[in-house]
Amino acid sequence: MEMLLAQAAETTISVAAIGKGLVYGLAAIGPGIGIGLIFGNAIQAIARQPEAAGLVRPIMFLGFALAEALALLGFVLFFLIT
C-alpha cells in the first residue's frame, strides 16, 4: 500500500513536469507564427515604401506585443503549475 502511494506521488510529479513543459511549448506555437507574420509583413511594407517606416514601426511593435502576451501567459503558467 505504501509503495503504491509513493508510486502514485511520483507519477503525479512527473505528470506535472510534462505538463509544465507542454504548457510553454504549446503556448509558444501560435505567437511564434503570429510574430513571424507580423515582422515579415512589416519588413515587406518598409521595403516597399521606406518613407512609411515611421508609421509602420509603432504598429509593428504593437502587434508584436499583443501576440507575444499569449506566449508569456504560457510562461507564467509554467511557474504556476505545481
User: In the bound complex, what is the minimum distance in angstroms from residue 5's beta carbon to another protein?
Assistant: 18
Spatial contact of 23 and 77, defined as CB atoms under 8 Å apart: yes
**Interface with another protein: number of residues (CB under 8 A):** 16
For residue 49, which phi and psi values (nearest 5 degrees)? -140, 85
Mask of contacts with another protein, 10-49, x by CB under 8 A?
----------------------------------------
Per-residue cell: 15: 505528470
Amino acid present at 34: G
Per-residue cell: 69: 502576451
Is 53 among the residues that bind another protein (CB under 8 A)? no
Only one of the segments 1-9, 32-40, 44-52, 60-68 lies at the binding site for another protein (rule: CB under 8 A); that segment is 60-68
